Amino acid sequence: MRPLAPGVHQLLGRPPHMVNAYLVEDVLVDAGTPSARKRITRQLDGRAIAAHVVTHAHPDHFGSSHAVCERYDVPLWAGAKDVEAITTATPVPSPGLAGSLLSRMKMPSPHPVARGLGEGDEVAGFTVLDVPGHSPGHIALWRDHDGVLICGDVFFNLLRPSAPPKILTFDDERNRASMRRLAELRPKLVLFGHGRPLRDPDRLLRLVG
């Protein structure tokens, strides 16, 4: 694991930074694809895990959630409006033909969500922010005292900071509003679902214009 901030570690990925998961104190944030199960559990074995949070109900973020929750006997938490999608493993499709085709792909194992998270809830010293758009119930985690933001897929950072692909986004206009909201926080460290960490408080502001 790679330490990024006090109490915050990034799990090692393959390839690095392509699909990210984080350990925040004793809470796992996101769980990659189903094929990431062994890689994730190798890094978590021997550590105290109290809960697992999913930023949004896409299969590359809750792909190994069932396996993780079963292995460590921990509850699964997610944004309230994404609970049904994870519980039934049927994510809400994004608009258009591409979104419809993607929604028919094989989904990860479903898992019951023990807690639907909403604006202002607390998770391991972070505050939950409702930032819908990429999915109906997308959440971000914000730690105000040192400016650490776990933004899920509100932004991507694979080659450079950007919006997520429209074909994978439930409501692009709402996601744009969520992008502006997060950029205006001027985070000192941004942790993405896809891409390298960013330590530039003004980079996201320049993106949203």
Q: Which tokens belong to 121?
A: 């809830």
pLDDT tens track, the chain, 209 positions: 999 999 999 999 989 999 999 999 999 999 999 999 999 999 999 999 999 999 999 999 999 999 999 999 999 999 999 999 999 998 776 776 656 666 666 789 999 999 999 999 999 999 999 999 999 999 999 999 999 999 999 999 999 999 999 988 999 999 999 999 999 999 999 999 999 999 998 999 999 98
User: Amino acid identity of 75?
Assistant: P
Q: Report the C-alpha dihedral over residues 175, 177, 182, 183, rounded to 10 degrees.
A: 110
Instruction: For CA atoms 69, 73, 77, 81, give the dihedral sign.
Output: positive
What pLDDT does residue 201 have?
86
Note the residue count of the chain: 209
Residue in this structure with the two tokens 């915050």, named with its chain if needed: 8
The SS3 call for residue 189 is: strand
User: Amino acid identity of 168?
Assistant: L
Q: Per-residue pLDDT tens for 125-174?
A: 999 999 999 999 999 999 999 999 999 999 999 999 999 999 889 999 99
